[in-house]
Amino acid sequence: MTFILNQANSIANNMLKELRDKNLQQDRARFRQHVEKLGSILAFEISKHLPYKAENVETPLGTSTIQVLSEQPVLITVLRAGIPFFQGFQYFFDQADCGFVGAQRKENGEAITIDLDYLTSPALEGKQLIMIDPMLATGKSFVKAVEALLRYGKPAHVYIAALVAAPEGIAYLKEKLKLPYSVYTCALDEKLNAQSYIVPGLGDAGDLSYGEKI
């Protein structure tokens, strides 16, 4: 299942437009804030599909029964680009256990490979796992991270959360990911370019949030 937020009109589109705008992108704080807000919106959308249980709460006037999350999902993000997006998820899943993955894109001529150099995670067995990375480009970092995380247990379901996705990345997940999963993205773009950047996309999400790396 692929959920695409901008298939329905909402105020989220205004944030997406500003994120993509090469002039407004100069304002790093604004960029991070919009990424964070869109993270919260996707967290809300994913929350509709998590397991719930009925609980009672005593008000000053009586008892109300309400469906609440059975348990918090586990949130895992990819450093460094994922940090603002992840913070948006943390506003809603505010008691969640969290893990972090350090992933570097390496360009070897035509081919892009992903090096994982840092990995830390809580137990994942039977959990609802949300993998948070703003750009679902080739899909290789998501797949590599999920495979590496299996040493912490097999999640019941993996939610792949992205700001912008490319069709090539969605196809790669379909081919490689052998766990139950769904994709949640704010926008599904046209394609990847020769350097595996999303077109039209928004550029390098990590650089736009934190400055160009050398």
Of the candidate spans 31-39, 41-49, 151-159, 204-212, the one that interacts with ligand URA by CB under 6 A turns out to be: 204-212
Q: Is 3 in the site for ligand URA (CB under 6 A)?
A: no
Of the candidate spans 12-20, 58-66, 110-118, 201-209, the one that interacts with ligand URA by CB under 6 A turns out to be: 201-209
Measure CA 209 to chain center.
15
Instruction: State the DSSP string of 3-71.
Output: EEGGGS--THHHHHHHHH-TTGGG-HHHHHHHHHHHHHHHHHHHHTTS-EEEEEEEETTEEEEEEEESS
Q: Is 205 in the site for ligand URA (CB under 6 A)?
A: yes
Nearest distance from residue 84's CB to ligand URA, in Å? 12
CB neighbourhood size of 6 (10 A): 15
What pairs with residue 86 in β-bridges? Answer: none
Nearer to ligand URA by C-beta: 76 or 198? Answer: 198
Q: Is 187 in the site for ligand URA (CB under 6 A)?
A: no
Q: Which two tokens stand for residue 183?
A: 């994709």
Total binding residues for ligand URA by CB under 6 A? 9
Nearer to ligand URA by C-beta: 151 or 213? Answer: 213
Nearer to ligand URA by C-beta: 146 or 166? Answer: 166
Nearer to ligand URA by C-beta: 81 or 160? Answer: 81
Nearer to ligand URA by C-beta: 84 or 206? Answer: 206
Any idea what DSSP says for residue 128? Answer: E
Q: Is 204 in the site for ligand URA (CB under 6 A)?
A: yes
Residues within window 72-91 making contact with ligand URA, judged by CB under 6 A = 81
* Closest listed residue to residue 123, CA positions, set 152, 150, 96: 152
**Does the N-terminal peptide bond of residue 51 adopt cis geometry, omega within 30 degrees of 0?**
no
Residues within window 90-149 making contact with ligand URA, judged by CB under 6 A = 135, 137
Rounded to whole angstroms, how far apart are CA atoms 182 and 146?
A: 13
- Binding site residues, ligand URA, CB under 6 A: 81, 135, 137, 197-198, 201, 204-206
